[in-house]
Amino acid sequence: MEIKTDDYSIKYDSESDIIICNGSLLLNSSAEYAPILNLFNTAAEKQVKPLTLDVRKLEFLNSSGINTFTKFIVNVRKKKVLQLIAVGYGEIPWQVRFLKNLQRLMPTLVLKLE
């Protein structure tokens, strides 16, 4: 399952249990982010094994994008069954801060900062 444009791509690979986010997310409002949130939630529904959210190649995320990720995290937290792992680069300050904010929302989120 993949959403791909000139600016970004979001890919869920069910065999590798991973969602890979790429590029710059500068969409306008939650309506434009709805397909991405839908992909996240569908992936979470399908997963039996732990799911990895990889944002290493995510270059930019606006506040509506942050809102989309936090909606997803709150959704997963409510279900209480899925183990989520988030991967980012430890040397990119915004990725570190963003993932730590997600972990504050869901303390069971495992962070891997490379």
Partner 1 sequence: METQIFGHFIEESLGDMEYLKIGLLPNCLSIKQSWRANGLSADFIANYVHTFFVGLPKNTDAPIPIQSKHAVKYIANELLENAMKFNDSTSQRFIEIAFKLYNDKIIFHVTHDINSKNVEKLKTFLQQIINEDPQDLYFSRMEFNAINDEKGSGLGLLSMVCDYSAKLGWKLEIPKHDAPTTLTTMVCLNI
Contacts with partner 1 by CB under 8 A lie at 24, 26, 28-30, 59-60, 62-64, 66-67, 70-71, 74-75, 92-94, 96-98, 101, 104-105
**Cα–Cα distances in Å, from 44 out to 17, 29, 41, 51, 103?**
10, 22, 5, 7, 17
Q: Which C-beta is closer to partner 1: that of 49 or that of 79?
A: 79
Minimum CB–partner distance for residue 26 and partner 1 (Å): 5
Q: Which C-beta is closer to partner 1: that of 18 or that of 82?
A: 82
